[in-house]
Copies of this chain bind each other. A is one copy, B any other.
Amino acid sequence: MLSADRKKNRVTLLDVARRANVSRATASLVIRKSPLVGAETRQRVEEAIQALGYVYNMGAARMRAERSRTVGVVVPNLTNPFFGELLSGIEALIDSAGMVVIVANSGDLVERQDLVMRRMREHGVDGVILCPAADTEPAFLDRIAEWELPLVQTLRHISEEIDYAGADYAAGMRQAVDYLASLDHETIAFAVHGPMHSAYHERIEGFRDAMRSLGLNANMILRVPDQLAQIADATHLLFEQTEQPTAVICFNDVIALGLSGGLYDRGLQVGRNFSLIGFDDVTDAEALRPRLTSVSTAPVAIGETAAQLLLDRLADPARPPRRVVQETQLRVRQSCGPATV
């Protein structure tokens, strides 16, 4: 039904943009009569609109909103509490807009993400907030753009032409490194897991840059298992390095929880004999003992921002894409102490 309607009107803004050899965002700006587009570009886009017979339906997204009033959210993992907190932020805003959130799990697999996104479309959701699976190709997001399904990227970004809500992960890493350096730590490990994606690279590069700028070894990057239950047993990796680290920064709080247990098992006191910093600041960070010092990426606030971007997009499908990157904040608790060598 939906797809039949859409097939009739197959020419999309993306087709126009391609023909005019501009970005979709630029084509949007032309349609919105933005003064930001130069005369030559404007003319090229207008010619493409003519040539393809593109009809821009300003009210289409709003009509869709009236039809289903449902927002889809696709995340890679529902067992990490981080995503639960992100969802609660999304739901708070979407609820107050009188809409309903439905969630699907991509399992961080592109094939499954593909299936889930097609289902979301078939179910007629008004728009989707997507944390793209690792290895998502830009072509995948282009296809969604062809569906004219309003989309917001969150936590990870693939395309510059699509709204994005995230946090400044690189700056967060710098806060963690600077804090440990202020406690005289010089040999600092970084524990990572999971697949590689923009947030992964931003965190690793943030760690490396911050360490290098202090003249410290930026290469002590350890991979630990993905499953929480197996992380404690990987703690030995910290003690098999050529230089002995006195602190570890974790890619997320799940790793911090796991290593915290592993350090305890070795008779070490976190915050005294070994320093540990988490990342994300999920609720568990405050509940652990010793309380976990963590870089807050404010998942609830990111969720709210992503939802707001989607609501704005539904209200105005042609607005230029926006990137909202929140500042992170170091929450100092009990899991770090002065370096003791």
Contact = CB atoms under 8 A, between A and B. Distances in A.
A232 interface: yes
The residue in A72, A79, A260 that gathers the most chain B C-beta atoms within 10 A of its C-beta is A79
A interface SS class? helix
Contacts of A260: 289
A284 B100 CA distance: 30
A107 to B, nearest CB: 8
Nearest to A103: B103
B100 A104 contact: yes
A136 interface: no
Interface string A69-97: 11010000011110011011001000100
A229 B283 contact: yes
A92 to B, nearest CB: 10
Contacts of A70: 119, 123
Nearest to A120: B102
Given A70-B119, A289-B264, A103 B79 contact: no
Contact of A85 (B79, B88, B264): B79
B102 A119 contact: yes
Interface residues of A, number: 49
A287 interface: yes
A103 to B, nearest CB: 4
A287 B230 CA distance: 9
A261 interface: yes
A68 interface: yes
Contact of A261 (B1, B103, B287): B287
A302 B147 CA distance: 37
A105 interface: yes
17 contacts: A68-B123, A78-B78, A78-B103, A79-B81, A79-B85, A84-B84, A91-B105, A100-B104, A100-B116, A101-B105, A123-B125, A227-B283, A231-B287, A257-B284, A258-B287, A261-B291, A284-B284
**7 closest Cβ contacts across the A-B interface?**
A79-B84, A123-B123, A264-B289, A103-B103, A102-B102, A78-B84, A100-B119
